Every structure is written in C-alpha cells, then in structure tokens.
Amino acid sequence: MQVLETVASRFGHELSVEEHQAGWCAYESTGTPLPDSTLAACVRGPAVFLGAVGDPRADGLPPGKRPEAALLKLRSTLGCFANLRPARVDEELVDMSALKREIAAGCDMVIVRELTGGLYYGQPRSRDADRAVNTLVYTKAEVERVAKVAFDLAHGRRRHVTSVDKANVLEVSQLWRAVVEEVAKGYPDVKLDHMFVDRAAMELVTAPKQFDVILTENLFGDILSDEASAMCGSLGLLASASVGGKVGLYEPVHGSAPDIAGKGIANPIAAIRSAALMLSYSFSLHAEAAAVERAVSKALADGLRTADLVPRGMASVSTTTFANAVAEAVK
C-alpha cells in the first residue's frame, strides 16, 4: 500500500482502498473464510489485492471452512481463469538462485496457469475412510480461452509458448494438446512446442532459459510455478495476476508464513510486484508499473536484502526498510 500511495502521488492519481477480511482471520471472526460482504466488495472491483490467507490452525477444518476455500471461491466468482506468474532471475540476485549462475542468469519466463478448472474444481469429489475421489475435467472452451491468454502474452515477449501436459497417459491432456494446437493456428508468428510435465519439471532446473511462456493446467501450474521460485532465489520474489474476468485478482505467490509474522523480516518484493501487475493489467498504467519494477531493481542494486536473500547470520534489512527504499525510488 505504501508503494501504491507513492505511485499515486508521483503520477497524480487518487488511490481508493477498501479492506475486507478473507481466509483465517475471517473464519475466526465470522465462522466462514469468505464472508458475503467481502465477496460483494470484490465483485464490485475494479481490482482485488489479496494478502496470504492461510494458517496452520485451520488444518483440522473441513474443506469448505479452510482459508483456501475462500481463494478458490473468489477466483471462480470473479471469473479469473488465467493465472500469470512471472519468474525472472534478477541480475542482482543470480547468486541466490538454487541453480548454478551459468544456468540461472538471464532466465525470464511467465507461467500461465489455468485457474478455475481441473482437479481443484472437478466433480465428483469425495472422501471416506477407505477411498477418496477427485475428478480431472476440462472443456474445449476452458482450454481455448486460457491458451489465447498465453499466446497473446507471448506475442509481446519472445513469441514462444511451451504447453505442458501429460498427453501420453491422460485423455484430458490429449484434449488440451489438440485445442492448444488449434489456437496456435491463429498466431502464426508464435512458436509452439509441447512438453510432458515430468520433463518440464526437469528442464526448469537444467535448462530454464529455453522458456518464454509456459502454458499449463491448474495442478501442474501450481507445482511448476513454485519450482520456478527456487530458480529465482526466493518464494518472496514472485508475484501473480489472476485475470480473465471483469475484476483482476493480484497476490504474492508465497504463503502466509505465520512463523515469521510480525517479526519484520518478510520479503515485500512479491507483494510490491503484484501491485505493479495490478497497475498494468487492471488499470493500464504501464508507465507506473514500470516505475515500480525499476524501483525494486534499484533497491536491490543498492545492496538492500531481506533475511531470505542473505546467507544465514549475515546482515539484512527489515520489511519496512526495504519497502521505504522502493517507495523513495518511485519518487
């Protein structure tokens, strides 16, 4: 919020913010992870900026009462069917990558994850003492619309889409592949290739520079995008945008990390970069979004690091100090 306020001040905008409860805090106070008042406010839009909603105290709750249920319902109600997760290795943080410098340097990809279908939403789903069922289902229309998002995005980047599936064993993936190939015919200047998800998981850590835009379904995208965080150096660096409906949903990829809450050591970069995505996708404020990204880079270039970005025992700065530096750079 501090960085957004600075952006508004510098560029002459008015920032209007409403705060509403979701996730564990909402469950504690209302008995539901997504109160009707919160959902109604989100539907009004024009954009939703979400904090991490989880808490380990919810682990014993039934699925509909867990914080994650709020997120799933919010995504489906808003119609946010495409999740965009940029994964770029910052030049200043190459040595923080879990990968060798020569492999990690220069990596810059976006994972486009289908967000409202697949195993997370498919019916039937059930569980008893001896058996559990989840259903993987996609329609042609669902695959088609998210594929178009990926190809449009690639058209403005390096014009390369890698579609990730498991078409050698899953009929759903066979449909996915066929629909993606059909969509690709409308983008003759964008290269398309296909990759099985197990190979993609390997290639992400052995040859990640080959990827520009990765297109994949819900479960695979959830896993691969977290794997990409190791390439970047920290889960605290990765932003996301969920788009496709009238109201965009923006959130850092990382979880709530209640073990470090209130200690001032959390990395704010993922949240700040999520705000930059919001400026760009929901408000078409591309210059403002670029100013935020440059400000993050400047803070890193000046040597500022939160605790997750330095070896254990070395000096780091607090969440607030880093955010202050980004805000000053925006000015």
Tell me which residues are annotated as active site.
Answer: 120, 166, 198, 222, 226
CA pair distance 240, 251, nearest whole angstrom: 6
d(CA 277, CA 32): 29
- Phi and psi of 222, rounded to 5°? -60, -45
Say how far apart CA 67 and CA 180 lie, in whole Å. 33
Query: Which helix or strand (DSSP H or E) is residue 20 part of?
Result: none
For 99, half-sphere exposure in the C-beta direction (CA atoms, 13 angstrom radius) is 23
Measure the CA–CA gap between 278 and 251, rounded to whole angstroms: 9
What DSSP line would sit under 80-123, residue for residue? --EEEEEEE--GGGGGGSSS-HHHHTT-EEEEEEE-SSGGGT-S
Query: What angle is formed at CA 205 by the lines to CA 200 and CA 210, rounded to 5 degrees?
Result: 65
- The tokens for 52 are 């991490």
| CA–centroid distance for 65 within its chain | 23
